[in-house]
Structure 1
Amino acid sequence: MNRRAALVAGALSALGVAAVYGLPRPRADLAELYAEVDRATVASLRAFRSAHPVRRLTVDGWAWEYVVLGQGPDTVVFLHGMSGAHDIWWQQLEALAPTHRVLAVTYPSVRTLAELSVGVRAVLDAHGVRSATIVGSSLGGYLAQYLVQHHRDRVERAVFANTFPPNDHLRAAHHHRAVVGRFLPERLVAVAFRDSNNRRILPASQDPALVGAYLAEQAQQPGLKRRLLARYRTVIEPFTVADPAPEDLPLLLLESDNDPLIDADLRAALRATYPTAGVHTFAGGGHFPYLDQPAAYTAALRRFLG
């Protein structure tokens, strides 16, 4: 009865959100979505997308989208979080491309870390990359940890950013929401997604217009519900950190002191899991410091890359 009551309460909560905020409007164009964003930033994102069209690789029946640019001798791979895509990293990709080959992927709706790791490695193989620096944020940081533990030979350096170690907290905190989400129509999932961003993500952001516009754009892409549920399964998937300090593997932890999704306990748990890693904390960086503080973020990466 308690479980049923929780599910009913969750469904009613979602319906209440829909009543307050209204169902999403018809698909907005980019000019409307990014109307409040700095014009130079919008122009930069548009130019990046025009100059670097998406490539596609089919892996085990799933279409992986990605971009690759730069001609440097060393490769840096960027892995996004739950609500992102490859071009959420565009400012870091452009900044590092003159000195590195940089690659960023968009995950298909696979449901396990093993499937995600297969896809990442397949993209690397397609470009003849034996090993690379892995930079992952949130879900991407969790995937980066998995790659280090299970495919150490493919990782030269690793950055675990705004993320968490394997834990039971996320499963317990979001279980009922995920169960309810499976039964909601796509439009109500979009409403709940927008509400969560407005309440939690944007107030912690130094550039809420950009973060809000990018997340709103992602919410308009077909298959939001399927993507979020699949990605949720990967962030609660347990694995063992058998070697917290792999020999000769430089590690860097990036965090924000006001991250609304990765609380102080999870940040401390990550540092405790990797005691030999370097740590850089962004003051007021929120959950997306690479959008909020792109120059500072790139500078931290450059120092780590050497």
Structure 2
Amino acid sequence: MTTTLPSLFAETRRRYPARTLDLDGTPWTVRDTGGTGVPLLLLPGALGTGDVFYRVLDALGGERRLVSVTFPAIGDARRLARGVTALVDALGCPVVDLLGTSLGGYVAQLVALEAPARLRTLVLANTFYDPGLQQSRWPPAADYARTPPADVLAAARAQLQNGPAPTPEHAELKAVMLELVGTEQDADMVKAMRLAVLTAQPLPAVPLAAEAVALIDDDEDPVIAGPTREQMRQRYAGSRHVRIPGGGHYPANLQPGRYQAAIRELLPR
């Protein structure tokens, strides 16, 4: 199946231009749809940038303020979380809604642990609180740290190139990821995100009320293993939970309508 870059991807990026904020000497890139009210910050996973949320920005950017975030080359999840909190300050927001997917969901939990008063709603999508199973798929962090960034990038792009594309949605996602990984997300950034996963530690439960937390997942997620999904479900059993069949690890892209409906359902207007 031919992988072509969707026109909506470029259109959304033109509509909401990227801007870079300097936070303690580190550049953080965001796309901000503007508007009033409590913004929703969107944190991506380890592979790709905040632009993976282009369909969310396109569909919901006219309804509420959305801010998609691209992580800088910081290979430490706690430092990333502190950066997200500094970003909230830089945006002039006393409180935000926060959605994190995969590594972004782990970082979002750290933000909730360190600055719970800054969050109104926390949405944890296709993510983990115990990184053990994710780490078992990769070399130890010390070994990985010695790998040249160019080799890390080449392996990541080969994985994307060789990934299956059984549906048009999968083919579109592949095209978008190949556009982002190696360009906006350079080799140093790709390596840093992997190191952020490999050096992560199990987290305690976030100090938020159950009704302020929500989960999004899919039983067929090929990245977040079944035991890890079950850990999250048990920990946040009293919170709202949306399963998105067919969403895999990227429901925002593979099942965009259901993902957008989940956001509307889970977040206050």
TM > 0.5 between the two? yes
In the other structure, the counterpart of 2:154 is 191
Cα distance 1:48–1:178, how it changes in 2: closer, same or farther (>3 A)?
A: farther
Q: In 2, are the aligned partners of 1:205 and 1:211 still within 8 Å (CA)? A: no
Structure 2 Cα separation of the partners of residues 97 and 140 of structure 1: 20
Deviation (angstroms), 1:168: 2.1
In the other structure, the counterpart of 1:111 is 75
Q: In 1, are the aligned partners of 2:38 and 2:96 still within 8 Å (CA)? A: yes
In the other structure, the counterpart of 1:218 is 180
Residue 81 (structure 1) aligned with residue 45 (structure 2): yes
Q: Deviations over 1:153-207 (max 9, x none)?
A: 1111011001111232222331259825733461x433321332355x5457762
Cα distance 1:202–1:158, how it changes in 2: closer, same or farther (>3 A)?
A: farther
Deviation (angstroms), 1:213: 0.8
Structure 2 Cα separation of the partners of residues 88 and 183 of structure 1: 26
How do residues 58-137 of structure 1 correspond to structure 2 at under 5 angstroms? 58-137=22-101
Cα distance 1:76–1:222, how it changes in 2: closer, same or farther (>3 A)?
A: closer
Structure 1 Cα separation of the partners of residues 258 and 67 of structure 2: 20
Structure 1 Cα separation of the partners of residues 15 and 184 of structure 2: 24
Matched letter for residue 158 of structure 1: L
SS in 1 for 2:86: helix
Cα distance 1:209–1:240, how it changes in 2: closer, same or farther (>3 A)?
A: closer
Residue 295 (structure 1) aligned with residue 257 (structure 2): yes
Tell me the TM-score normalized by structure 2: 0.89
When the two structures are aligned, how many residues end up with a matched partner?
A: 267
In the other structure, the counterpart of 2:203 is 240
Q: In 2, are the aligned partners of 1:206 and 1:285 still within 8 Å (CA)? A: no
RMSD of equivalent CA atoms: 2.5
Cα distance 1:282–1:205, how it changes in 2: closer, same or farther (>3 A)?
A: farther
Cα distance 1:37–1:51, how it changes in 2: closer, same or farther (>3 A)?
A: same
Q: Deviations over 1:73-106 (max 9, x none)?
A: 1211100011121221111123222221111111
Unaligned runs of 5+ in 1: 1-34
Cα distance 1:220–1:172, how it changes in 2: closer, same or farther (>3 A)?
A: closer
Structure 2 Cα separation of the partners of residues 278 and 248 of structure 1: 8
Cα distance 1:281–1:198, how it changes in 2: closer, same or farther (>3 A)?
A: farther
Deviation (angstroms), 1:123: 2.2
How do residues 252-263 of structure 1 correspond to structure 2 at under 5 angstroms? 252-263=214-225
Structure 2 Cα separation of the partners of residues 104 and 164 of structure 1: 20
Residue 145 (structure 1) aligned with residue 109 (structure 2): yes
In the other structure, the counterpart of 2:170 is 208
In the other structure, the counterpart of 1:159 is 123
Deviation (angstroms), 1:239: 4.7
Q: Deviations over 1:251-296 (max 9, x none)?
A: 1111112111111111001112222121111112111110111111
Task: Decide which of 7, 11, 36 is 2:3's aligned counterpart.
Answer: 36
Structure 1 Cα separation of the partners of residues 211 and 59 of structure 2: 24
Unaligned runs of 5+ in 2: none
Structure 1 Cα separation of the partners of residues 197 and 147 of structure 2: 20
Deviation (angstroms), 1:62: 1.0
In the other structure, the counterpart of 2:226 is 264
Q: Who wins on radius of gyration, i.e. which is larger?
A: 1
Q: In 2, are the aligned partners of 1:76 and 1:135 still within 8 Å (CA)? A: yes
Q: In 2, are the aligned partners of 1:135 and 1:158 still within 8 Å (CA)? A: yes
SS in 2 for 1:259: coil
Matched letter for residue 89 of structure 1: F
In the other structure, the counterpart of 2:242 is 280
Identity, % of aligned positions = 27
